[in-house]
Structure 1
Amino acid sequence: MRKMMIMAAAAAAMMATPALAQSAWSMDNARGYGTLGYSYLEDSYTGAVQGRMGVELNRYLALESEVGIGVKDKDFQIAGVDGTLEHEWDAAGYVVGKVPVGENFEVFARGGYGHTEMKRTIAGQTTDEGGDHWSYGAGAEFKMNADNGIRADWTRREYKGDRDSADAYSVSYVRRF
């Protein structure tokens, strides 16, 4: 049921996109941006340095890609045997819908598709974890000025297959160009 509601919301947003694209800004005012920050993956207790590149097509719509490189692994123990879960890398692409709330603040929702690569090692045996996922989330950005900002967001990763979904929390510096 929840997935159907998400898909319906995404379809409604896609149908509204042409109207939003014609309002406020023309495509001549499209701006690029990049972010650099940290992302914490709650289900695995791992973290990654994350970068994003995007283009704001207008005031309400953006496209972005993200790449993360794992920097925080999780050590664990099962029945007295030591193990490690390593966050190798992740990558994803998103469509982002934005709503300005005042001059220097905006909220956004995003949806897309990605891949997360992780490795689990127990007693010298390594298995691949992670996989492809549909992702959706929401966040907010505070613009310090026209070119710089701070962004915080939550993203839900709905993995394909038997793996449970995961929540990622990110904080980033934003630079527009």
Structure 2
Amino acid sequence: MRNIILSAAAISLFAVPAMAQSLQSPTYYGTLGYSQMQGDDADLGAVTGRLGAKLTPYLGVEGETSFGVGHDDVSFAGVDGKVEHRYDVAAYGVATLPVQPNFDLFARVGYGVTEVKASAAGVAASDHSDSVNYGVGANYHLDGVNGIRADWTRRDFQDDNAGEADVYSLSFVRKF
């Protein structure tokens, strides 16, 4: 019995080079685009950048950061003011479904921090809120390196009564 187990273990070593050849090295990518965040009280725009790695054809990770552009005019208890998106940072796990060689769908879930600044009647305050983020999107690859990405992400803010926001993004994608 012992000889059979040792023989099976020795024979299985022949499979190791085949397994090593089937492993894929990570594919890295970056995106740069525009995001529109629609919250309960304001609609804010931002320039968004992402860096990601596809660890397998189906699973990957990505980091994201956005910096606000412009502001939204709002009214606080009858007093006119404005809200600005300062920045946000998030990290995601990404699951990808290749549909065609140049088109894939993805879903992502992660955690982020968003900071906004509000000002009215000469008084300004800024606050950052943690959020659980999840969303879906699609990539269209123009060639083997460049592409276009569109996605939607929901941010569920974790602070009491902080609400939620929908973020719609359109980005240029570049594989490294």
How far did 1:127 drift? 2.2
Offset of residue 128 of structure 1: 2.3
1:35 maps onto 2:34 in alignment: no
Q: Which amino acid aligns with 1:114?
A: G
Alignment partner, residue 116 of structure 1: 114
- 1:97-116 alignment, distance < 5 Å: 97-116=95-114
Larger radius of gyration: 2
Which ranges in structure 2 are unaligned for 5 or more consecutive residues? Answer: 1-18
In structure 2, what is the equivalent of residue 45 of structure 1?
43
Structure 1 residue 45 displacement after superposition: 0.6
Q: Find 1:132's aligned residue among 118, 121, 130.
A: 130
* C-alpha distance in 2 between matches for 1:84 and 1:130: 16
Structure 1 residue 130: deviation in Å? Answer: 4.2
1:83–1:50 distance in 2 versus 1, CA, 3 Å: same
Matched residues in 1 for 2:121 and 2:133: separation?
33
Partners of 2:107 and 2:133 in 1: CA distance:
11
Length-normalised TM-score, structure 1: 0.82
CA-to-partner distance for each residue in 1:119-167, whole Å, 9 max, x for gaps?
A: 1101111222440000000000101011011000000001012201110
* Number of residue pairs matched by the alignment: 153
The unaligned stretches of length 5 or more in structure 1 are 1-21
Hey, what does 1:26 align to over in structure 2?
23
Secondary structure at the aligned position of 2:101 is classed as coil
**Equivalent residue letter for 1:171:** L
Q: Percent identity?
A: 46
TM-superposed CA distance for 1:77, in Å, is 3.2
Residue 172 of structure 1 aligns with which residue? 171
- The TM-score with structure 2 as length reference comes to 0.83
The aligned residue for residue 11 of structure 1 is none
Cα separation, 1, equivalents of 2:157 and 2:92: 16
